[in-house]
Amino acid sequence: MQSNPTTIVVDGAGVEALCQSCGVCCSTFRISFYWGETTAAEGGVVPVELTEQMNLYRSCMKGSSQTKPRCIALSGNIGESVSCTIYENRPSPCREYDVFDAQGELNPRCNQARAKHGLAPLNVRFVPVAGVPDHITLPTPEIKPGS
């Protein structure tokens, strides 16, 4: 008998629900990207007023580079119920983060981030189902020096 049951996440909607009850990656890592992704540049979509310039080439989401990071675009309470208020216009690191790997294992950075917030580790696996979405993208954590 399995003493430590694993939750099976079966499709993209399941991943989305999982993340909407977590959100710690938006409150742990610096979310940085090429400044040209902001609306300050032609074709950019990330609202520039929600970002700060780090150097000539890089911007980050406001709030994500502070001592206790929290992206300004995150709404809700982490570990309970959260959402991204600029989901359609979120920057590339938020789109490219793989929550699960090809074997269905949770990205270890998720539980590393949860531990920083005193939240219990997620014990989940992803199992794709034919004909349903199997991929969503969320922030790529950037580990800050010393974190």
Judged by the rule CB under 6 A, the positions of this chain that interact with ligand SF4 are 18-19, 22-26, 31, 61, 71, 73-74, 84, 86, 90, 94, 99, 110, 113, 122, 138-139
Nearer to ligand SF4, 1 or 134 (CB): 134
Report the first-to-last Cα separation within the chain, whole angstroms.
Answer: 38
Residue 50 in contact with residue 105, Cβ under 8 Å?
no
Question: Taking the complex as a whole, how short is the minimal distance between the CB of residue 94 and ligand SF4, in angstroms?
Answer: 3
Residue 113 in contact with residue 106, Cβ under 8 Å?
no
The three-class DSSP label of residue 143 is coil
Q: Which among 96, 90, 126 is positioned nearest to 15, based on CA atoms? A: 126
Nearer to ligand SF4, 35 or 90 (CB): 90
Question: Within 13 Å and on the Cβ side, how many CA atoms surround 102?
Answer: 0
Nearer to ligand SF4, 62 or 128 (CB): 62
Question: Taking the complex as a whole, how short is the minimal distance between the CB of residue 95 and ligand SF4, in angstroms?
Answer: 8
Question: Taking the complex as a whole, how short is the minimal distance between the CB of residue 137 and ligand SF4, in angstroms?
Answer: 9
Question: Taking the complex as a whole, how short is the minimal distance between the CB of residue 61 and ligand SF4, in angstroms?
Answer: 5
| Cβ count within 10 A of residue 34 | 13
φ and ψ at residue 16, rounded to 5 degrees: -60, -45
Question: Taking the complex as a whole, how short is the minimal distance between the CB of residue 50 and ligand SF4, in angstroms?
Answer: 8
Nearer to ligand SF4, 70 or 128 (CB): 70
Nearer to ligand SF4, 130 or 139 (CB): 139
